[in-house]
Amino acid sequence: MKSPGPAPTLLDRLATAWRERAVALKALSFGMVGVVNTLVDAALFFLALAFLTHSLILANLMSWLVAVSGSYVMNSLTTFAAESGRQLRLKAYLGFVASGIAGVVANTTALVVAAQFLPVVAAKAIAILVSFVVNFSLAHFVVFRARPAPDAG
């Protein structure tokens, strides 16, 4: 009987996923879901900025909260269907939102910094790209990571 080795590191999991190309297909699916959520996020961001607040940060957080909820639902049912069993669970949603906090922090930071040098529309586009990288990485390798099947013996 072979003894189990140390648990694979994040870099080991990244290398394995890349070799299997699964990460590329999931990134594509995540990106397609992200397009829908980006449209929702951007529309709500600019509506909030026009009608509710002059704060870039507040408008960004409001639009993000709606978009992250839609992203959880769509990604649970499509991109990470195998890992989630196509089930929506409060615990998984809260984990997705918690991991999304890193994405929204990256998004908001990029937005505020880029807005110092670029028009707000361009700054928002940069912020979306930055958060895509952060959000996909956390969703794939943390929130919806494949868990080993329990031993039957």
Average pLDDT of the residues of the chain: 84
pLDDT at 121: 92
pLDDT in tens, 63-98: 988 988 999 999 999 988 888 888 898 988 988 888
* CA separation for the pair 82, 22 (Å, rounded): 12
Q: Is the pLDDT of residue 60 over 70?
A: yes
Give 21-35 pLDDT, tens digit per residue.
677 788 888 889 988
Q: What is the pLDDT of residue 80?
A: 86
DSSP string, 136-151: HHHIIIIIT---PPPP
- Spell out the residues 6+ positions from residue 63 whose beta carbon is closer than 8 angstroms to its own: 40, 41, 42, 43, 44, 45, 48
- Compute φ and ψ for 129, nearest 5 degrees: -65, -45
pLDDT of residue 120: 92
More confident residue, 91 or 153: 91
End-to-end CA distance of the chain: 13
Please tell me the distance from the alpha carbon of residue 130 to that of residue 113, in angstroms, as a whole number. 12
At 1 the three-state DSSP class reads coil
Q: What is the DSSP letter of 118?
A: S
pLDDT score, position 40: 93
Q: Where are the domains of the chain?
A: 21-143
- Residue 48, judged by CB atoms within 10 A of its CB (0-12, 13-18, 19+), counts as buried
